[in-house]
Amino acid sequence: MESPELVALLAGRKVAVLTGAGLSTDSGIPDYRGPDSPPSNPMTIRQFTSDPAFRQRYWARNHVGWRHMDETQPNAGHRALAELERCGVVTGVITQNVDLLHTKAGSRNVVNLHGTYARVACLGCGYTTSRAALAEQLEALNPGFIERAEDVGGIAVAPDADAAVADTASFRYVDCPSCGGMLKPDIVYFGENVPKRVVAQAYELVDQAEALLVAGSSLTVFSGYRFVRHAVSLGIPVAIVNRGPTRGDALANVKVDGGCSELLTLLAGELARSALRR
């Protein structure tokens, strides 16, 4: 699968990259909205903050899901973008994913737009801890819970480290040890705003780029789509690689319908050779 238009648009340019869940499907994390995605009903911030039963359900499912995400490895698409950064082609990655796979692949300049699964923060006082440290406390409170959940069947993990777990009613979770407030994964939930400083970092990446490449995002959520609109407003060309249509197709200079791993690997080879010839 080749796309000469894609190569021609990006060759010789400094490229900022915006990635979504479609980039991580080849690592075993399902997409929310891809053509073959399973039905998903992610928790909203209103649900999480307003009802202890929702928090109990979330922490039970996350207690299982975060471990699987932690063990997930980057795929060829992540590695291709990291290689393009090393070659000086990619200036940085803005990712809507919380899976840290760009960092695991070796990308250094990463804006985690929606946070990461690996940290937990208090909504009251701002106390933070690692998800691994919290896991030890939750395991002590719920011995054998993970084993029982896995015995029921295979674990399906969503892009936000949620997992399909049937029995959550007995799960015990903890509040903030500093102020007693609500602990929440450092993930931007549906209905929640991305922190302004993170948005500013992402805009700065686009401002300094000569092209914007979107990989694996349907751009349905405005938090990602705004950067495509911003690039267009600045006259910065936009390329999109995604399985299926996206909200930004009409704004793109080039749209390639296909899988990220294969296309980005081919693109990295072409652009890396182009960079070496300069």
Residue 243 assigned to a binding site: yes
In the numeric block, which tokens belong to residue 178? 């500093």
Q: What angle do CA 221, 252, 188 make, to 5 degrees?
A: 20
Report whether 27 belongs to an annotated binding site.
Answer: yes
37 known ligand binder:
yes
Q: Is 34 annotated as a binding residue?
A: yes
84 is in an annotated binding site: no
Q: What is the C-alpha separation between 139 and 145, in angstroms, rounded?
A: 8
Q: Is 33 annotated as a binding residue?
A: yes
**Rounded Cα distance, 226 and 220, in Å:** 10
Q: Is 216 one of the annotated binding-site residues?
A: yes
102 in catalytic set: no
Query: From the candidates 63, 78, 102, 114, which is the catalytic residue?
Result: 114
31 is in an annotated binding site: yes
40 is in an annotated binding site: yes
Please tell me whether 36 is known to bind a ligand. yes
Query: According to the annotation, is 87 in a ligand binding site?
Result: no
Q: Report how far residue 45's alpha carbon sits from residue 124's, in angstroms, rounded to the nearest whole number.
A: 14
Is 86 labeled as ligand-binding? no
Residues annotated as binding site for NAD(+)?
20-40, 96-99, 216-218, 242-244, 260
The binding site for Zn(2+) consists of 122, 125, 176, 179
Residue numbers belonging to the annotated binding site = 20-40, 96-99, 122, 125, 176, 179, 216-218, 242-244, 260
**Which residues does the annotation mark as catalytic?**
114
